[in-house]
């Protein structure tokens, strides 16, 4: 992975601050790195066994607790993994009932708190469609969900209390569904660990220093938004992960760039107009996996590359900050690297902004009102 940037000044003071940060001081980094081969073997053989006796895995959860997993299984999985429990929309539930109709399903319910309403209400509905031995629960010890699993005799794949949802993909949270879908979790894990080591380097050209510096520079120079773009639909499931991670970690204390994403070239016919001529209130971060196709695909690759170069040239002229992230290829390994890269960038941004990037108290704003209203009924 490498990055190029345009219209950005490196802030030596900030980079110096980043160099004093040891990634292993953060619980989630330690937990990802320390997951280890043994745990990996266990979760992988369990998931394969379950995959052998069922047709589909339904993962129930919302937000950071499932988005990373979804990016892996939807981008690279072979065996079907579906997702539910992320809204209160009955239509979503009935559509999923149609998807699982006549199928022998496994369930993986993921909720750190064990009481997120979207997740629990979906579990209440789908619990009856799976055999007891095919129901798996991931939560922290003694949460209400953990208790329910214990009472009903479901298998528990524990979650560490020091692991926040959006930093938990590389753990029981994500590895179970990844292995179920046939993804080589060992390769994912090793790529993640290698990336952590690489980003813990104290050199000026550490790519996470450069990206975090760019984001802080954008904010300091009055930008309010970040548009994350790509020229391939392959990235469509990673984009919401990046948006969720940055929004929930860094959007607080009246600070942060409002993240959004756009997939080009389709997006050039919508948001592209704004990017070219609208209010220059944003920075742009593009993600480009290095891929090449044969025969007829060559022509598409060529035109896609020229379109990308043209967009960078046109956007550079406007003068807003641009970061280009190039991946060596598009594989479960490069997705693991990309995810860790964004998570580590979040650490540097959070420290640079002097905020607690690990909590998400703002989410409670609507929840408290909603729960009060529901209890009045």
Contact assessment for residue 295 and residue 335, using Cβ atoms and an 8 Å cutoff:
no
Query: According to CB under 6 A, which residues from 18 to 77 bind ligand PA5?
Result: 62-65
Residue 112 interacting with ligand PA5 (CB under 6 A): yes
Cα angle 368, 372, 375 (rounded to 5 degrees) comes to 140
* Residues 6 or more apart in contact with residue 320 via CB below 8 angstroms: 7, 218, 223, 280, 282, 283, 284
CB of 159 to ligand PA5, least distance (A): 8
Helices 12-19 + 207-220 axis angle, to 10: 140
CB of 255 to ligand PA5, least distance (A): 18
How far is the C-alpha of 360 from the C-alpha of 356, rounded, in Å? 9
- Give the contact letters, 190-229, x = binds to ligand PA5 (CB under 6 A), - = no: ----------------------------------------
- Give the contact letters, 295-324, x = binds to ligand PA5 (CB under 6 A), - = no: ------------------------------
Shorter beta-carbon distance to ligand PA5: residue 200 or 244 = 244
Helix (H, G, I), strand (E, B) or coil at 295: coil
- Which class for 117: exposed (0-12), middle (13-18), buried (19 or more C-beta within 10 A)? middle
CB of 174 to ligand PA5, least distance (A): 12
CA dist 210 → 121, 308, 329, 362 (Å): 42, 22, 21, 28
CB of 166 to ligand PA5, least distance (A): 3
Instruction: Give the one residue of 68, 77, 164, 289 binding ligand PA5; rule: CB under 6 A.
Output: 164
One-character DSSP codes across 139-192 = --TTSHHHHHHHHHT-EE----TT--GGG-STTHHHHHHHHHTT--HHHHHHHH
Residue 113 interacting with ligand PA5 (CB under 6 A): yes
Residue 285 interacting with ligand PA5 (CB under 6 A): no
How far is the C-alpha of 212 from the C-alpha of 348, rounded, in Å? 6
Shorter beta-carbon distance to ligand PA5: residue 70 or 166 = 166
Residue 248 interacting with ligand PA5 (CB under 6 A): yes
Residue 119 interacting with ligand PA5 (CB under 6 A): yes
Instruction: Give the one residue of 80, 116, 206, 288 binding ligand PA5; rule: CB under 6 A.
Output: 116
Instruction: Give the one residue of 166, 215, 252, 308 binding ligand PA5; rule: CB under 6 A.
Output: 166
Residues of the shown chain interacting with ligand PA5 in the complex, contacts defined by CB under 6 A: 62-65, 111-113, 116, 119, 164-166, 248, 360
């Amino acid at each position: 992975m490498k990055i190029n940037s345009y219209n950005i000044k490196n802030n030596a003071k900030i980079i110096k601050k980043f160099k004093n940060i040891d990634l292993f001081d953060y619980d989630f980094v330690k937990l990802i790195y320390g997951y280890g081969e043994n745990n990996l073997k266990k979760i992988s053989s369990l998931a394969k066994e379950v995959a052998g006796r069922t047709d589909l895995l339904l993962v129930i959860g919302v937000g950071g607790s499932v988005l990373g997993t979804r990016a892996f299984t939807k981008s690279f999985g072979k065996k079907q993994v579906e997702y539910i429990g992320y809204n209160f929309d009955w239509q979503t539930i009935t559509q999923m009932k149609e998807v699982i109709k006549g199928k022998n399903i496994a369930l993986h319910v993921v909720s750190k708190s064990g009481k997120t309403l979207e997740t629990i209400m979906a579990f209440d509905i789908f619990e009856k469609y799976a055999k007891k031995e095919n129901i798996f629960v991931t939560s922290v010890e003694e949460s209400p969900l953990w208790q329910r699993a214990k009472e009903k005799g479901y298998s528990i794949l524990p979650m560490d209390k020091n692991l926040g949802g959006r930093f938990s993909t590389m753990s029981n949270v994500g590895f179970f569904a990844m292995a179920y879908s046939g993804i080589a979790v060992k390769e994912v894990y090793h790529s993640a660990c290698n990336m952590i080591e690489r980003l813990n380097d104290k050199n000026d050209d550490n790519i996470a220093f450069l990206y975090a510096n760019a984001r802080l520079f954008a904010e300091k120079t009055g930008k309010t938004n970040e548009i994350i773009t790509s020229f391939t639909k392959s990235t469509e499931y990673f984009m919401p992960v990046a948006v969720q991670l940055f929004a929930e970690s860094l959007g607080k204390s009246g600070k942060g760039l409002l993240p959004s994403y756009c997939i080009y070239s389709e997006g050039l016919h919508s948001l592209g107009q704004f990017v070219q001529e609208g209010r220059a209130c944003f920075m742009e971060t593009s993600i480009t996996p290095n891929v090449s196709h044969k025969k007829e695909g060559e022509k598409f690759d060529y035109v896609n590359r020229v379109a990308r170069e043209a967009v960078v040239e046109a956007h550079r002229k406007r003068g807003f900050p641009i970061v280009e992230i190039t991946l060596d290829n598009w594989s479960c390994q490069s997705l693991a690297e990309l995810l860790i890269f964004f998570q580590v960038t979040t650490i540097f941004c959070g420290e640079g902004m002097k905020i607690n990037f690990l909590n998400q108290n703002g989410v409670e704003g609507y929840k408290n009102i909603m729960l009060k209203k529901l209890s009045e009924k």
